[in-house]
């Protein structure tokens, strides 16, 4: 009982009613507001002044500002930004209105504002606002879900020339796993997560992604099936590529990068209004890229065309149409399969890739043994403002991605030999996503509701035609003549007698309905609840040669979501908790012929978010439990499965984005993940899954640029990534084989840059992997040693 008076005081002080009462009594108030650009985007790092009181502040990452302890009276609030006309508004504070809210609009596009923020030294990388994360406009401080944003400004500063390098800025992502078709998979909360989401909807891009058209990358953490479904999200979350959109003024840039291993990269970004009214806009992004491997063989050549059109039909209706069309040719990323011990030879020849002593600079590839890929993505969106409270959003996305040609993997055969295994493949994917959302913002009584209700149809189809051949064993340290004979001319005749697989590998349709409501219970307490219903149809595998269809099944899944936020300091400190759910469909039947249910992932999470003008941070602890995993049926034989496997993934994530002084920007992240199969097969029970990545990871980037004087725009950057050791193979002893662990070693990679950024040009030099660290991906692909890249950008 002694705590009740204290709790009452705390509630009174932290509640809006308590603060209002105090302000009325002291004859002071506060002025809160938001600044937006003329194209409707938030305006970050804008200077806000009350000249008569000589008070100044800066808008935060949400474009918001606040003045406290302002005496009652009339004041002019002015928003000032270099290169833009100032905006002002008159405000009156009184006992009846001690906390007015205002909105100011700058005559400045968001694209041009980004350039201004670069030179004024604000918290440039703390842009968290998104319409995709919650499928409705929701500030980070109002969202009980954790997410990370990698902005185009950060990618420019780091001279990112390939998509995977951007993930150095994502806590826990680790070293990207590049698969046979060039597609990328990264880690999120202990689960492999593919890159198959674009602008918030499905985009099954199973080829290399060029970063030239990226506005930002949104990494949404935790099971996210309620709003996104299971096909495009993992139990750890999803990666959303947000592409560049047209804006209302003419502008753009042309960029050229050159560097180690014959890197040549030319990109262009050109934007223009089509008519005088600026109701029709066009933007074109394009890239030409070529480079070779640091190893003795290996290369990649690619192109990208990405036009985007926007038409404001009237005040209510806006249409958007864009496309990404790309193609590439190159050698496949090498995959290495270690040699496991046997009962006859129980001692492994090596327990890590370092122990194996394969020469780091040898590719075991040949530039004639290559593949080509092609990808297009068509995206169309119609937004219609039904009323002041409701908006309709209709989205159509159509994707085709394919890779045709040779992909190679290495298999360890003995302590001294390896074997190249080559697959000739034709493997196209076709994806269609049609989505209809109704987005509302209204009050029921005094309770504000922000709601999204939608329907989604997602279709995925893949055809497969491939065959594999094995080359002769070669010495891994002194390869000899067989190494030189690994060419397309030698390989082609071997496929004349190879057995090809030709079938429809995937044919899936998913019909979904979902609803999510963000409810302001008070000014500081926000609750979220959502539910998704998925009806999934798998048409099975069809083999034309036999006319047999197998493996077809249907499943229904329900995915709820709950969240709660308490803003201890309004719009600045949010304490949050959430429950989120994800699922994954399972094919097949058990011994009795019963079809399986989806596997479920349930997450409980809590933490705190901070958003001040100088610092933005998120700290969270999560606990994910996966149930209904398929494991071998030990009673009826391993050819059958039972559905009682479980897995845990829990851990801590921290992210910091800071701007302690003008010109100095800091990004830092740390993750600890504990993953364990708590009920699995004999071989894996009690072990960390091999696909969970490093238990501990860290990342940071610190940059400083001069923001005043003759040297304005001159800057330096320094950063790095760390990952602890983990296992690519991790199995217990069984009757068939002894226990075996094969490690991906710990790594620490450091980078540095120097740049000179002016309104009309930018020059930069980046050195990746300063210490020439040897490190590998999950598939044991050797990563680049020290690499130097120069970049020059002309802006207009």
Q: Are residues 638 and 780 in the same domain?
A: yes
For 624-656, the pLDDT digits (tens) are 999 999 988 878 777 788 989 999 999 999 999
Q: How far is Cα 763 from Cα 791, in angstroms, rounded to an integer?
A: 6
Report the range out of 207-211, 372-376, 562-566 with the highest average pLDDT: 562-566
Q: Which residues fall within 8 angstroms of residue 284, CB to CB, at 6 or more apart?
A: 268, 269, 270, 271, 305, 306, 307, 308
- Name the 3-class secondary structure at 45: coil
- What is the dihedral sign for C-alpha 768, 771, 777, 778? negative
Domain CATH for 194: 2.170.130.10
Confidence of residue 149 (pLDDT cuts 50, 70, 90): very high
Domain endpoint, select from 243, 267, 282: 243
- What is the dihedral sign for C-alpha 228, 233, 235, 240? negative
Which whole number is the average pLDDT over 712-733? Answer: 96
- Name the 3-class secondary structure at 487: coil
Domain CATH for 17: 2.60.40.10
Domain endpoint, select from 243, 266, 300: 243
Q: Are residues 194 and 274 in the same domain?
A: no
User: Considering just the CA atoms, what is the radius of gyration of the chain in Å?
Assistant: 28
Give the model's pLDDT for residue 45. Answer: 75
Q: What is the CA 321 to chain-centroid distance, rounded?
A: 23
Lowest mean pLDDT among 16-25, 46-55, 566-575: 16-25
Give the model's pLDDT for residue 495. Answer: 94
Burial of 247 (0-12, 13-18, 19+ CB in 10 A): buried
Domain membership flag for residue 426: yes
- DSSP for residue 234: B
Q: Are strands 417-444 and 390-412 parallel, antiparallel or unpaired?
A: antiparallel
Q: Which residue has the tokens 């959502």?
A: 530
Q: Which residues fall within 8 angstroms of residue 53, CB to CB, at 6 or more apart?
A: 70, 75
Q: What is the pTM of this model?
A: 0.88
Domain containing 426 equals: 251-795
Q: Are residues 39 and 171 in the same domain?
A: no
DSSP element (H, E) containing 483: helix 481-484
Domain CATH for 530: 2.40.170.20
Domain endpoint, select from 201, 217, 243: 243
Q: Are residues 421 and 540 in the same domain?
A: yes
Q: Are residues 605 and 712 in the same domain?
A: yes
Q: Are residues 266 and 238 in the same domain?
A: no
- What is the dihedral sign for C-alpha 171, 175, 178, 182? positive
Which whole number is the average pLDDT over 311-335? Answer: 95
For 734-793, the pLDDT digits (tens) are 999 999 999 999 999 999 999 999 989 999 999 999 999 999 999 999 999 999 999 999
Number of domains in the chain: 3
Q: Are residues 517 and 601 in the same domain?
A: yes
Structure tokens at 416: 């001294």
- DSSP for residue 127: -
Q: What is the CA 539 to chain-centroid distance, rounded?
A: 30
Q: Are residues 397 and 471 in the same domain?
A: yes
Q: Are residues 232 and 292 in the same domain?
A: no
Q: How far is Cα 411 from Cα 424, in angstroms, rounded to an integer?
A: 17
Give the model's pLDDT for residue 16. Answer: 46
Q: Are residues 34 and 170 in the same domain?
A: no
Confidence of residue 173 (pLDDT cuts 50, 70, 90): very high
Q: How far is Cα 622 from Cα 171, in angstroms, rounded to an integer?
A: 14
For 228-258, the pLDDT digits (tens) are 998 899 999 999 999 999 998 899 999 999 9
- The CA-atom distances, in angstroms, between 30 and each of 26, 50, 178, 203 are 12, 12, 52, 46
Q: Are residues 354 and 420 in the same domain?
A: yes
Give the model's pLDDT for residue 482. Answer: 87
Give the model's pLDDT for residue 397. Answer: 96
Q: Which residues fall within 8 angstroms of residue 433, CB to CB, at 6 or more apart?
A: 201, 202, 203, 395, 396, 397, 398, 456, 457, 458, 459
Domain membership flag for residue 476: yes
Q: Are residues 342 and 235 in the same domain?
A: no
């Amino acid at each position: 009982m002694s705590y009740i008076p204290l709790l009452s005081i705390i509630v009174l002080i932290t509640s809006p009613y308590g603060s209002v009462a105090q302000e009325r009594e002291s004859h002071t108030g506060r002025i809160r507001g938001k600044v937006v650009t003329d194209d409707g985007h938030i305006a970050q790092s804008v200077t806000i002044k009350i000249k008569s009181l000589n008070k100044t502040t800066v808008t935060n990452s949400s474009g918001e500002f606040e003045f406290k302890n302002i005496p009652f009276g009339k004041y002019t609030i002015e928003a000032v930004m270099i290169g833009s006309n100032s905006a002002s508004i008159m405000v009156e504070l009184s006992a009846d209105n001690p906390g007015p809210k205002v909105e100011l609009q700058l005559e400045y596009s968001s694209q041009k504002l980004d350039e201004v923020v670069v030179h004024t030294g604000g918290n440039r990388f703390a842009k968290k606002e998104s319409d995709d994360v919650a499928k409705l406009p929701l500030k980070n401080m109002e969202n009980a879900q954790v997410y990370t944003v990698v902005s185009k400004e950060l990618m420019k500063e780091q001279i990112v020339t390939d998509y995977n390098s951007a993930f150095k800025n994502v806590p826990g992502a680790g070293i990207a796993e590049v698969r046979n078709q060039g597609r990328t998979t990264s880690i999120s909360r202990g689960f492999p997560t593919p890159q198959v989401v674009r602008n918030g909807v499905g985009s099954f891009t199973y080829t290399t992604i060029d970063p030239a058209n990226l506005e930002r990358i949104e990494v949404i953490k935790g099971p996210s099936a309620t709003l996104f479904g299971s096909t495009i999200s993992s139990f750890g979350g999803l990666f959303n590529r947000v592409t560049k959109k047209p804006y209302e003024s003419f502008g753009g840039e042309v960029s050229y990068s050159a560097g180690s291993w014959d890197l040549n990269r030319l990109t262009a970004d050109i934007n223009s209004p089509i008519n005088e009214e600026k109701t029709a806009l066009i933007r074109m992004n394009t890239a030409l890229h070529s480079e070779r491997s640091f190893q003795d063989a290996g290369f990649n050549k690619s192109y990208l065309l990405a036009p985007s059109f926007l038409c404001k039909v009237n005040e209510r209706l806006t249409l958007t149409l864009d496309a990404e069309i790309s193609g590439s040719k190159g050698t496949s990323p090498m995959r290495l399969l270690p040699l496991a011990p046997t009962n006859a030879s129980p001692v492994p020849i090596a327990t890590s890739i370092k122990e194996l002593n394969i020469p780091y600079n040898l590719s075991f590839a040949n530039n004639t043994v290559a593949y080509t890929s092609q990808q297009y993505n068509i995206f169309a969106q119609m937004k219609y403002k039904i009323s002041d409270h409701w908006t309709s959003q209709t989205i159509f996305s159509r994707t085709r991605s394919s890779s045709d040609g040779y992909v190679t993997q290495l298999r360890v055969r003995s302590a001294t030999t390896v074997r190249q295994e080559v697959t000739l493949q034709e493997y196209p994917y076709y994806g269609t996503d049609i989505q209809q959302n109704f987005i509302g913002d209204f009050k029921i009584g005094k309770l504000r509701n922000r709601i999204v209700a939608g329907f989604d149809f997602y279709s995925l189809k893949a055809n497969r035609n491939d065959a594999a051949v094995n080359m002769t064993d070669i010495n891994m340290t002194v390869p000899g003549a067989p190494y030189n004979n690994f060419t397309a001319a030698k390989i082609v005749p071997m496929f004349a007698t190879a057995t090809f697989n030709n079938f429809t590998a995937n044919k899936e349709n998913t019909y979904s309905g979902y609803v999510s409501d963000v409810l302001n219970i008070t000014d500081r307490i926000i609750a979220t609840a959502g539910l998704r219903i998925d009806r999934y149809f798998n048409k099975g595998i069809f083999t034309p040669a036999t006319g047999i269809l197998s493996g077809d099944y249907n499943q229904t899944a329900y995915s709820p979501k709950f969240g709660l936020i308490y803003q201890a300091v309004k719009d600045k400190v949010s304490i949050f908790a959430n429950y989120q759910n994800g699922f994954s469909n399972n094919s097949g039947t058990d011994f009795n012929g019963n079809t399986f249910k989806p596997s479920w992932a349930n997450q409980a999470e809590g933490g705190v978010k901070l958003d001040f003008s100088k610092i933005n941070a998120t700290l969270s602890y999560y606990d994910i439990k996966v149930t209904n995993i398929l494991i071998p049926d030990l009673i009826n034989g391993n050819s059958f499965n039972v559905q009682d496997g479980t897995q845990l993934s829990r851990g801590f994530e921290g992210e910091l984005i800071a701007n302690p002084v003008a010109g100095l920007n800091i990004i830092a992240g740390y993750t600890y993940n504990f993953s364990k199969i708590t009920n699995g097969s004999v071989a894996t029970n009690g072990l960390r899954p091999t696909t969970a990545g490093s238990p501990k990871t860290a990342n940071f980037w610190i940059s400083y640029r001069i923001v005043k004087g003759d040297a304005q725009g001159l800057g330096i950057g320094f950063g790095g990534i760390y990952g602890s050791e983990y296992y690519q193979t991790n199995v217990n002893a069984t009757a068939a084989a002894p226990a075996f662990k094969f490690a991906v070693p710990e790594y620490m990679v450091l980078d540095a840059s120097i740049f000179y950024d002016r309104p009309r040009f930018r020059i930069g030099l980046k050195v990746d992997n300063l210490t020439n660290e040897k490190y590998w991906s999950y598939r044991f692909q050797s990563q680049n040693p020290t690499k130097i890249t120069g970049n020059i950008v002309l802006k207009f």
